[in-house]
Amino acid sequence: KNQVEQSPQSLIILEGKNCTLQCNYTVSPFSNLRWYKQDTGRGPVSLTIMTFSENTKSNGRYTATLDADTKQSSLHITASQLSDSASYICVVRLNTGGFKTIFGAGTRLFVKA
Protein backbone atom coordinates (compact mmCIF):
# COMPACT_ATOMS: atom_id res chain seq x y z
CA LYS A 1 0.00 0.00 0.00
CA ASN A 2 1.34 3.44 -0.94
CA GLN A 3 1.81 5.45 2.23
CA VAL A 4 3.70 8.48 3.47
CA GLU A 5 4.26 8.75 7.21
CA GLN A 6 5.64 11.80 8.95
CA SER A 7 7.03 12.25 12.41
CA PRO A 8 6.69 13.81 14.81
CA GLN A 9 3.03 14.84 14.54
CA SER A 10 3.87 18.12 16.24
CA LEU A 11 6.96 19.80 17.58
CA ILE A 12 7.63 22.81 19.78
CA ILE A 13 11.04 24.47 19.66
CA LEU A 14 12.57 27.72 20.82
CA GLU A 15 13.44 30.42 18.35
CA GLY A 16 16.97 30.05 17.06
CA LYS A 17 17.12 26.30 17.58
CA ASN A 18 17.45 23.70 14.83
CA CYS A 19 15.03 20.86 14.19
CA THR A 20 14.62 17.87 11.90
CA LEU A 21 11.36 16.49 10.55
CA GLN A 22 11.08 12.95 9.24
CA CYS A 23 9.23 11.39 6.32
CA ASN A 24 9.10 7.65 5.58
CA TYR A 25 7.37 6.37 2.49
CA THR A 26 6.37 3.08 0.97
CA VAL A 27 5.43 4.53 -2.40
CA SER A 28 6.27 2.65 -5.58
CA PRO A 29 7.17 3.37 -8.29
CA PHE A 30 8.82 6.50 -6.91
CA SER A 31 9.14 9.65 -8.99
CA ASN A 32 9.96 12.52 -6.66
CA LEU A 33 9.48 13.83 -3.14
CA ARG A 34 8.55 17.36 -2.19
CA TRP A 35 8.44 19.17 1.11
CA TYR A 36 5.78 21.84 1.43
CA LYS A 37 5.26 24.48 4.10
CA GLN A 38 1.64 25.34 4.86
CA ASP A 39 0.69 28.26 7.04
CA THR A 40 -2.65 27.90 8.84
CA GLY A 41 -5.54 28.58 6.49
CA ARG A 42 -3.25 29.05 3.48
CA GLY A 43 -2.21 26.94 0.55
CA PRO A 44 1.01 24.86 0.70
CA VAL A 45 4.22 26.36 -0.69
CA SER A 46 6.92 24.13 -2.13
CA LEU A 47 10.27 24.18 -0.29
CA THR A 48 12.25 21.47 -2.08
CA ILE A 49 11.86 18.71 -4.63
CA MET A 50 14.10 15.67 -4.81
CA THR A 51 14.31 12.92 -7.38
CA PHE A 52 15.67 9.41 -6.98
CA SER A 53 19.28 10.39 -7.64
CA GLU A 54 19.44 13.38 -5.30
CA ASN A 55 20.59 13.05 -1.70
CA THR A 56 20.51 16.61 -0.43
CA LYS A 57 18.89 19.84 -1.48
CA SER A 58 18.89 23.19 0.29
CA ASN A 59 16.63 26.20 0.16
CA GLY A 60 17.92 28.87 2.50
CA ARG A 61 17.61 27.59 6.05
CA TYR A 62 15.81 24.45 4.86
CA THR A 63 17.81 21.36 3.91
CA ALA A 64 16.12 18.20 2.70
CA THR A 65 17.75 14.80 2.47
CA LEU A 66 16.62 11.69 0.66
CA ASP A 67 17.71 8.09 1.10
CA ALA A 68 16.01 6.20 -1.71
CA ASP A 69 17.30 2.86 -0.41
CA THR A 70 15.63 3.16 2.97
CA LYS A 71 12.81 5.32 1.58
CA GLN A 72 13.36 8.06 4.11
CA SER A 73 13.56 11.81 3.84
CA SER A 74 14.21 14.52 6.36
CA LEU A 75 13.77 18.27 6.45
CA HIS A 76 16.25 20.15 8.61
CA ILE A 77 15.47 23.70 9.65
CA THR A 78 18.39 25.77 10.85
CA ALA A 79 18.19 28.73 13.22
CA SER A 80 14.41 28.62 13.43
CA GLN A 81 12.35 31.78 13.28
CA LEU A 82 8.87 32.52 14.59
CA SER A 83 7.66 32.59 10.97
CA ASP A 84 8.68 28.94 10.59
CA SER A 85 5.61 28.00 12.66
CA ALA A 86 3.52 26.04 10.16
CA SER A 87 2.68 22.55 8.97
CA TYR A 88 5.33 20.80 6.91
CA ILE A 89 3.98 18.27 4.47
CA CYS A 90 5.93 15.55 2.69
CA VAL A 91 4.46 14.62 -0.70
CA VAL A 92 5.61 11.71 -2.85
CA ARG A 93 4.73 11.42 -6.51
CA LEU A 94 4.34 8.08 -8.22
CA ASN A 95 6.06 7.40 -11.51
CA THR A 96 2.93 6.08 -13.20
CA GLY A 97 2.57 8.67 -15.94
CA GLY A 98 -0.31 10.41 -14.21
CA PHE A 99 -0.92 12.82 -11.38
CA LYS A 100 -0.93 10.37 -8.50
CA THR A 101 0.61 11.91 -5.41
CA ILE A 102 0.54 10.72 -1.82
CA PHE A 103 0.45 13.35 0.90
CA GLY A 104 1.79 12.81 4.39
CA ALA A 105 -0.28 13.99 7.33
CA GLY A 106 2.24 16.73 8.07
CA THR A 107 4.24 17.87 11.07
CA ARG A 108 2.95 20.91 12.90
CA LEU A 109 5.90 23.02 14.02
CA PHE A 110 5.54 25.69 16.69
CA VAL A 111 8.45 28.06 17.19
CA LYS A 112 8.30 29.96 20.47
CA ALA A 113 10.13 33.14 21.45
Partner 1 sequence: DTEVTQTPKHLVMGMTNKKSLKCEQHMGHRAMYWYKQKAKKPPELMFVYSYEKLSINESVPSRFSPECPNSSLLNLHLHALQPEDSALYLCASSQYSGQGDEQYFGPGTRLTVT
Considering the complex, what minimum distance in angstroms separates the CB of residue 79 from partner 1?
A: 26
Residues that bind partner 1 (CB under 8 A): 31-32, 34, 41-46, 49, 51, 89, 93, 95, 98-99, 101, 103-106, 108
Return the number of the residue (19 or 106) whose C-beta is nearest partner 1: 106
Of 11, 2, 64, residue with least CA distance to 36: 64
Q: In angstroms, give the least distance from the CB of 62 to partner 1.
A: 15
| CA 58 to centroid of chain Cα atoms | 12
Whole-angstrom Cα distance, residue 56 to residue 75? 10
